[in-house]
Chains A and B, each alone.
Chain A
């Protein structure tokens, strides 16, 4: 039975990995909007989205853990699966002997310190440390920075071979900092998982540590029974290095429920048991130890309950807008994508998974460097250098699993004012060259820019109505003035609702003549 279960787990995890990765590849992301739903099943997104709509997913994940332990880590988390793949690949280059895992003690001090710090900051509305350590978001960054970029290379190779059928992928945002972050993270993951299996998950990952704490309360736990003859088959297969055969115990806080041990054991000595109370273990131990164990047991359980309680508090605190710790206000120059509501909301809810960056068909979203200040590094920010925000597009607000970019209909987004254009006459071509231009007016989707007669040269010059402007950047993108553009969009720190553009009704005319 465990063989079948394990196989199911492997296939499911691969399916999750592939479908999640597809969201980050451009060849697929126009047609695969359906898969965006899968991103919401990640732990941190569901936690962040709990207030804004994915509470059910969050409850589902917690219940899943309460039932069977860290199934999330083994099956749903794409970074977990990636690590397993690396471990497997690494094994190809290793001798049979060095493929074996050994039991290792937990690094409790480290992992709980990380969890406490990340958790505490999270409660106070500072999400950035979580964003940098969250496994899903890191996987997103690796996909977007490394996989998608490789895809672009391959795609453009094909566009050279089949120029008539494959279009050239001409640009993509490149922010060195973000690329290096993803690359270094991948490097760390490769090293850790190639040598030590799930060491990241059990030492650094705050999600792993938290789910580990909950796992203490799990109804079903892997348990070693009396059939065990200390053959070590399970230990050698345990990528979490958490089976202690000497004491016939499995450290459930580190077990990722991968089922490898149960598949390896020929004697059925390790299996899932209903163990709200550790009955079996108690039977093995001597009478004197039972009291002791009970004490430890209840202490650990208390710790787990406290962890759940803290998470509840965190959610509540964030729901009532505890607000970030007041700090010196950094200068904000970035324009946040539609649906971000405000820079503050973005900072509180975004874990920089870069799903929006990968999804944007116009490729105008990039990871921030210092546009939002130091506490906004890697968060999505708009740039109108290569393109501008499509008026009929709302994809970024649809893909965000966190609710950092709140879902908006196209109609809502068309009124969402993410910034306002500013026009400077002195740079405008019509003013400097006294020739027609109108490029900004041409691109303006709401006609916040109209062309009005300019002096008596027979020319027309742009006139800007900021109330209708939504900050899409069409004008800034196309403005031909150099070296400084005559029209530039400045972001709204708090997004606003723009006035509806006028309908400009006109009488329908019917003509019967050609006019010449």
Chain B
């Protein structure tokens, strides 16, 4: 009986998922038509993760702008720590799920989710809620806990970081989407989109030992950059980051930032964060260093920005 019930539920759930995926896809495509000019950066606040994402991606021209039919996609959240979603140490699983669904509805042949975690990887994947959310949404789970999953990549534009071992899923995919969470960081002051690259490389110790801020900026000069950066600022960790201790470290900010420009999106996120706790842009060294390397711009005002309040 148990098993039969389970199968029934699974089947119904599957059907529901298919139906929902379709409607989502329609929505996204509809959006791309209504927006005349493509935005460089979209900021949303005041809603639930799924709602904010829907508004933002619509304003960006829909996911179909980035993901084409038959493409292999990687969604790279931050799953660094063995912490529950409400503690804000990892990317919100709800956001990860809705992005995966959207990619699949745009015809992605597969979506892989992975992170090179700091705590033991299996507990991180599990307790962050991401493995369950991702699997339900239809993604594959990538392993990243051993060197064998990484390949050497030259970084010619890097100042300190001249080469790094980068995860094979990133190298083999057609498109990847960077989905960090907004947090403070004891070493780099802030961890956002660029810092999230530490989860696609194998040897993080090298970065720490060789001018961390510069290495982060250097890694953003790789050719295989994310097509889109989506910063989860629904819950933001304003102290004791990036791991955090208790729920006290978290503020419910209910925001989301999206951009193709990784420097711009990090700039916007720092400026937003500054309202909760003082944080000067120049203290987050890697953002300025990346701008110097022509990765992107910190001059948000020069970009086409859409701000949406829900």
Contact = CB atoms under 8 A, between A and B. Distances in A.
B45 interface: yes
Contact of B272 (A436, A437, A458, A514): A514
A443 B206 contact: no
A247 interface: no
Given A482-B209, A515-B274, A390 B187 contact: no
Contacts of B255: 514
A482 B45 CA distance: 45
B154 interface: no
Given A362-B120, A436-B188, A443-B243, A429 B127 contact: no
B233 to A, nearest CB: 10
Contact of A170 (B146, B189, B249): B146
B213 A504 contact: no
A516 B208 contact: no
A120 interface: no
Contacts of A460: 186-187
Contact of B123 (A392, A480, A506): A392
Name the 5 nearest CB pairs between A and B, nearest first: A438-B187, A441-B186, A480-B209, A170-B146, A438-B186
B272 A504 contact: no
Given A168-B148, A478-B205, A361 B248 contact: no
A92 interface: no
Interface residues of B, number: 57
Contact of B276 (A449, A458, A501, A509): A509
Interface in B201-241: 204-206, 208-214, 238-240
Contacts of B212: 435-438
Contact of A515 (B127, B243, B271): B271
A447 B205 contact: no
A310 interface: no
Contacts of A481: 209
Contacts of B148: 168, 170
Nearest to A432: B209
Q: Which of A446, A449, A513 has the most CB of B within 10 A?
A: A513
B239 A506 contact: yes
Nearest to B238: A506
Contact of B300 (A442, A513, A516): A516
Interface in A372-391: 387, 390-391
B118 A443 contact: yes
B43 interface: yes
Contacts of B45: 514
Contacts of B122: 30, 361
A362 B143 CA distance: 16
